[in-house]
Structure 1
Amino acid sequence: MTDSVVVFSGGMDSTVLMADILGKGKNVQALSFDYGSRHNDRELLCAATFCQEHKIEHRIVKLPFINELFSSSLLKSGKDVPDGSYMEENMKSTVVPFRNGIMLSIAAGFAESIGAGEVLLASHSGDHFIYPDCRPEFNEAFSRAVFMGTGEQVSIRFPFANMDKRDIGDLGRELGIDFTTTWTCYKGGEIHCGTCGACDERKYALRYDEGFDPTNYAI
């Protein structure tokens, strides 16, 4: 019997969440999404490897329409990913319209189908500034809608909602996560670029300035 469905990208946040949930003894299935982002291939490889090592049932859902229809620099069909921190105006171009809403809807339907009582997403407080579908008011409203729409069978939970990315990095270190097996960079190159907003956040989360970040960055 599956307790939880984790939306599992293969990034550091969802990997820490997965490790934390496994450590609490829950039976988990992982759901990943291939939606045409520049870094999808890198992330999905990390997700698949983690699931194989931990014997977690893992499904990858292809959503080609997002890359075909939606506008975002995060997508292969979009403009170049900008450099800079998330606090800069240009980083808003990386928003994929309603991405979390779409993925959570699919995950909720899957959870209901297999009898799992909850869907978990690793969005955190640092996401709130730039991504509308990560904000507390969205999470609360969407959770209510899913609970009602599944006949009160499935709850959506955001365990890291009150944590920032550094809190997640610290938790991952406590859990023994090898962060070199996770992917963050939006540009999806051979190694992390070190200059995009995602890499900037990763450096903060893993305490790069303190020498704790094991990531190999181009810059």
Structure 2
Amino acid sequence: MAKVVVIYSGGMDSFTVLHTALAAGHQVYALSFNYGQRHVRELDCAAEVCKKLAIDHKIIDITAMNQLMAGSSLTDTNIEVAQGHYAEESMKTTVVPNRNMILLSLAIGYAVSIEASAVYYGAHAGDHAIYPDCRPEFVEKMNAVSLIANYQPIPIVAPFLHLDKAAILKAGLDLQLDYSNTWTCYVGAQLACGKCGACVERLEAFAENHRTDPLAYAES
């Protein structure tokens, strides 16, 4: 059984990646990051899922990085979270500078230290429009660097890189996953807002699969 590190935010994409790795027979080491995001609802979901599954799980505090990187509504409560679809220009306010390069670098180092065979993360086609660090060219280049950065080459695996959120959800539904164990909304109130880009895309994915989202929404 091969060890793999899964970058696990607690959202529906990484939840599906986590279970995809488990279904492949891997021994999963889940790695979550507190980078100073607006709320920890996703991290709480991640912790609960890993506890239920008895998966080794670490939540790493890297909030200090926000001393160097600013301008994202995901980390600055003074910036309003944009509403609408990811294709809209306003959603660029949700970009956290260089986030995935930082998270992948830390995950690669962790993988080397535990002699894991790969790092998994949930980049997908739905994010390509506004997130440069979710695009195929980024993943390909980052993978190339990861293969030469240490004595032990660590491939980066993004199983849904060329699929959209609806296809990711279908893959998870085929695995009979319960998406009530995830959180997506950027706002982080008691109920999902139904209006931010993350909620809109999630609701569209469920609609395309002719399913009802198990999460409760304030508005949709």
TM-score of the aligned structures, taking structure 2 as reference length? 0.94
Query: Amino acid of the residue matched to residue 45 of structure 2?
Result: C
Q: Runs of 5+ in structure 1 lacking a partner?
A: none
Runs of at least 5 residues in structure 2 that lack an aligned partner in the other structure: none
1:85-124 aligned at under 5 Å gives the runs 85-124=85-124
Match of 1:52 in 2: 51
Q: Which runs of 4+ in 1 moved over 6 A?
A: none
RMSD of Structure 2 on Structure 1 (CA): 1.5
Deviation, 1:44, is 0.6
Distance 1:211-1:146 versus aligned 2 partners, 3 A rule: closer
State the distance in 2 between where 1:205 and 1:67 align. 32
Would the aligned equivalents of 2:31 and 2:60 in 1 still touch at CA under 8 Å?
yes
Q: Does 1:205 align with 2:205?
A: yes
**Superimposed CA distance per residue, residues 101-154 of structure 1 (whole angstroms, 9 cap, x where no aligned partner):** 000000000000110010000110111110011111111011101110023421
Query: Are 2:119 and 2:154, in contact at CA under 8 Å, matched by a contact in 1?
Result: yes
| Alpha-carbon distance in structure 2 between the residues aligned to 1:217 and 1:201 | 14
What secondary structure is seen at the aligned counterpart in 1 of 2:153? coil
Deviation at 1:204, TM superposition (A): 1.2
Percent identical among aligned pairs is 46
Q: d(CA) in 2 for partners of 1:114 and 1:14?
A: 21
Which moves more between the two structures, 173-182 or 53-62? 173-182
For residue 66 of structure 1, report the CA deviation from its aligned partner.
3.0
TM-score w.r.t. structure 1 length? Answer: 0.95
Paired residue total: 218
Pair 1:211–1:175, CA change in 2 (3 A): closer
SS of structure 1 residue aligned to 2:147:
helix
Deviates more, 1:177-186 or 1:146-155: 146-155
| Cα distance in 2 for residues equivalent to 1:169 and 1:209 | 8
